[in-house]
Amino acid sequence: MGDVAPFIDPRLILVLNWICVFLTLAVAIMILFPAFVAARVDGKITWKWTHVFIPLFILDALLFLGALVYSAGVAQAAEEAAAQEEADEETFMEDRSQQHVRREQRAKRRARRTLVSRLMTVGCAGLFIAFHVLIALRLDETIDWSWAAVFAPWFAVEAVNLFMACVNLAAMLREGYQTPPDLADPESAEPTSYPFKPAEKALLAIDAFDFLALRTLQAVFIALKVQGSLTWDWALVFLPAWIWLAVQLILLRLSYTRLRSLTAQHPSLKSQLNFQIGVFLIGATLAYYSIGQLVARLRSDGGSPSAGVILIPVFLVLSILFCCVCCCIPSMVYINKVHLEQEMAGGEDTEEEHLGKSRPSAGSDASTGTVGGASSSA
């Protein structure tokens, strides 16, 4: 930790400990849900689906609480930004009447944006939870709604995501390509932003909408297939998933080709790119293993493989995550705490040694006084 440890607030370590405890419990609940689903599908338990979904409902409650906290944080950030703008206006603006009018206009616009953002955050969380509740009730046949109606909250959330994707893409195209700070030359007169070329705009649009469009289409296909309105084979039902994999591989190849010229000048980019490629390939392998096994199970009409085998990648990822939040991160926090205590203790010892060296001892004072007295008497 070196020079960093003396500036760490010890209370931060306590907060990190509680965060690790919370994440450990959350991941444990995440592991319970697929375990219950696998046991219910394979006939190991005969619980109602509403009981099987209890771990998911707990996570949904935490999600909704997080959405409320996030929306409150957005409102507080807007208030702080407004206060900063008012302070700047009082410093640079002399016309008080004009200042008051502009302040009211900005306050109204900011209030509308904050309200819309909070409603969208809380509303999407509520729709997501409603989707889970409707699935559980439909599987228990408590309600006899069509699967299209059950998926309606999901489609509403995707509509909100589409709107946000359009806004973000428009802002990105308006700002242009921004040169990363670590690649920009501060002494160069070249601009740090460039407008996108038509081909780059097309790639950005594909990257912004491909996953959104394909996962929405995937939900539509699944709802129609379960409803009986679609007679395709299950391999074709998951066609959007296969298309998404092909699109991501193409985009990954194009990104690698584009950044290959920069890796010679900046070796760190090459390592980052290789890391991203490795993570993507591992994640895609696990995901498409589960999809392939699921297609085989659905084709066999409830035969093999078992649901536990299908969900092996899910259990693997969640187990690694559980080890990280339960063992690795707390161990790192504890090691940093020990280093912090050692550095603080070492700093105190150094100060005491410094004071001890600069302060003469009583014996030396006495001997000095005796010698001085003897010399003076002599």
Q: Mean pLDDT by 10-residue block, N- to C-terminus, for the chain (378 residues)?
A: 48 78 92 95 93 95 89 70 58 56 72 81 92 95 92 93 89 73 52 72 84 92 91 92 87 74 66 81 90 90 85 94 88 78 66 53 46 42
Whether 5 is covered by a domain: the verdict is: no
9 domain residue, yes or no: no
**Long-range residue pairs from 76-82, CB within 8 A, at least 24 positions apart, any chain:** 78/110, 78/113, 78/114, 81/110, 82/106, 82/107, 82/110
pTM, to two decimals: 0.74
pLDDT at 350: 54
Q: What pLDDT is recorded for position 187?
A: 55
On whether residue 296 sits in a domain, the answer given is no
Looking at the structure of the chain, the number of domains it has is 1
Contacts of 107 (CB under 8 A, 6+ apart): 82
Does residue 249 lie in a domain region? no
Predicted confidence at residue 368, as pLDDT, reads: 44
Q: Is 63 within the bounds of a domain?
A: no
Residue 75 lies in a domain: no
Domain assignment of residue 321, yes or no: no
Whether residue 81 lies inside any domain: the answer is no
Q: What range defines the domain where residue 157 resides?
A: 146-179+193-218
